[in-house]
């Protein structure tokens, strides 16, 4: 293995190499067409959380996109765990990693040209979580704004596959950022119901019941699933249903779930405030999730609180 002192490694097509030496062809279909899938787990105190569930979803996305790789689930799990082991010493105190597997169909072959690469491109990489940029969200809650662009309908592209082409979501976020810097975009489905945030799922609390959109129009997040299980196992009423705008705006609480955020309160939707920075049900679920992962993740974010703008990272 090549190594460069104080530089993170990546796994690329069977080898661990320094990030600066991980080279991809500009003819790779992931770059040319967005013809690729990915999934992302995170670490807690350097330990991966629910990696198997993330890898299972990755292989579901591969099957949907008809990308076949020569590695099985355990191969990806083993390579991911080894990469984290190699990169863990480079984490700054108190930090953790986003850990992503990114797989494209590979290099596009031109008519009559010799092949540059055989088969898909398989990349696994680690990126420090954006703890500083998002720390204030755990003090103040997230400001959510409904974007003018709706979620791509499932008749055009399944929302259940985690694919590289995020243009719909990125444009939605940029439309919101242009008018409310630091706010997080929420998208509606084609029926006008709440779908999901950019890179996250959304929950609402109304009359003590936790409600979240059905999976027909969203990517069902691993953290979302963990929160639904926590509610069911701890006597918190929870249901998956269509969420019309009226329900969302008359709820008493709201929170986002994602791999990086875990569970984070939403303070307002389109300027309409919820119960402070976090209501009682949200606080309880945050505590249950912290127990599940064995770490006070909100305190981790708050330890990086600093002056400066809040940024979503999208």
Residue 294 confidence (pLDDT) above 60: yes
pLDDT of residue 24: 93
Q: What mean pLDDT comes out for the span 79-96?
A: 97
pLDDT of residue 229: 98
pLDDT of residue 202: 98
How far is residue 307 from each of residues 67, 106, 155, 179, 303, measured CA to CA in Å?
44, 43, 44, 21, 12
pLDDT of residue 131: 96
Is 99:67 a contact under the CB 8 Å cutoff?
Answer: no
Q: What mean pLDDT comes out for the span 179-185?
A: 94
More confident residue, 199 or 314: 199
pLDDT of residue 118: 86
pLDDT of residue 110: 77
Q: What mean pLDDT comes out for the span 174-189?
A: 95
Residue 166 confidence (pLDDT) above 80: yes
Question: Where do the domains of the chain lie, and which CATH numbers do they carry?
Answer: 9-128 (3.30.470.10), 134-302 (3.20.10.10)
pLDDT of residue 4: 58
| Strand pairing category for 15-18 and 262-269 | unpaired
Average pLDDT, the chain: 94
| Closest by Cα among 72, 69, 71, 85 to 16 | 85
Summarised one tens digit per residue, pLDDT across range 186-202 is: 999 999 999 999 999 99
Q: How does residue 307 score in pLDDT terms, banded at 50, 70 and 90?
A: confident
Q: What mean pLDDT comes out for the span 283-298?
A: 98
For residue 258, give every residue at least 6 positions away whose Cβ sits within 8 Å of its Cβ, in sequence order, or none: 197, 199, 200, 201, 221, 223, 264
pLDDT of residue 1: 46
pTM of the model: 0.93
Residue 257 confidence (pLDDT) above 80: yes
Structure tokens at 177: 């950022």
C-alpha–C-alpha distance, residues 125 and 105, integer Å: 18
E-assigned strand segments in the chain: 9-12, 15-18, 36-44, 47-48, 97-104, 121-128, 142-146, 184-188, 194-197, 201-206, 209-212, 238-240, 253-258, 262-269, 272-273
Is 261:200 a contact under the CB 8 Å cutoff?
Answer: yes
Q: What mean pLDDT comes out for the span 208-237?
A: 97
pLDDT of residue 311: 80
**188-206 as b/e, with b when 16 or more CB fall inside 10 Å?**
bbeeebbbbbbbbbbbbbb
- 9 burial level (CB within 10 Å; 0-12, 13-18, 19+): buried
pLDDT of residue 2: 52
Residue 9 confidence (pLDDT) above 50: yes
Residue 213 confidence (pLDDT) above 60: yes
Phi/psi zone of residue 262: left (φ > 0), alpha (ψ -120 to 50 degrees), beta?
Answer: left
Q: How does residue 247 score in pLDDT terms, banded at 50, 70 and 90?
A: very high
Is 213:279 a contact under the CB 8 Å cutoff?
Answer: no
């Amino acid at each position: 293995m090549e190594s460069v002192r104080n530089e993170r490694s990546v796994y690329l097509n069977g080898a661990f190499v320094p990030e600066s030496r991980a080279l991809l062809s500009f003819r790779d279909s992931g770059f040319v067409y967005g013809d690729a899938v990915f999934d992302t787990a995170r670490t807690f105190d350097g330990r991966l959380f629910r990696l198997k569930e993330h890898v299972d979803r990755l292989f579901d996305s591969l099957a949907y996109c008809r990308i076949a790789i020569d590695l099985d689930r355990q191969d990806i799990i083993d390579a991911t765990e080894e990469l984290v082991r190699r990169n863990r010493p480079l984490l700054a105190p108190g930090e953790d990693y986003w850990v992503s597997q990114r797989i494209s169909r590979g290099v596009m072959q031109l008519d009559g040209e010799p092949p540059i690469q055989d088969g898909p491109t398989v990349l696994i990489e680690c990126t420090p979580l954006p703890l500083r940029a998002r720390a204030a969200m755990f003090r103040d809650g997230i400001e959510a704004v409904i974007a003018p662009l709706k979620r791509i309908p499932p008749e055009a592209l399944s929302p259940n596959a985690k694919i590289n082409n995020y243009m719909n979501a990125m444009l939605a976020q940029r439309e919101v950022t242009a008018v409310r810097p630091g706010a997080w975009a929420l998208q509606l489905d084609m029926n006008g119901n709440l779908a999901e945030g950019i890179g996250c799922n959304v929950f609402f609390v109304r009359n003590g019941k936790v409600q979240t959109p059905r999976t027909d129009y969203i990517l069902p997040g691993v953290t979302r699933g963990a929160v639904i299980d926590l509610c069911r196992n701890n006597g918190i009423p929870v249901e998956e249903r269509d969420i019309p705008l009226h329900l969302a705006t008359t709820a008493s609480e709201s929170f986002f779930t994602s791999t990086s955020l875990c569970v984070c309160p939403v303070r307002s939707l389109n300027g309409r405030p919820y119960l402070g920075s976090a209501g009682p049900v949200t606080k309880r679920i945050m505590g249950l999730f912290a127990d599940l992962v064995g770490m006070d993740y909100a305190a981790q974010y708050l330890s990086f609180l600093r002056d400066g703008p809040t940024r979503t990272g999208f």
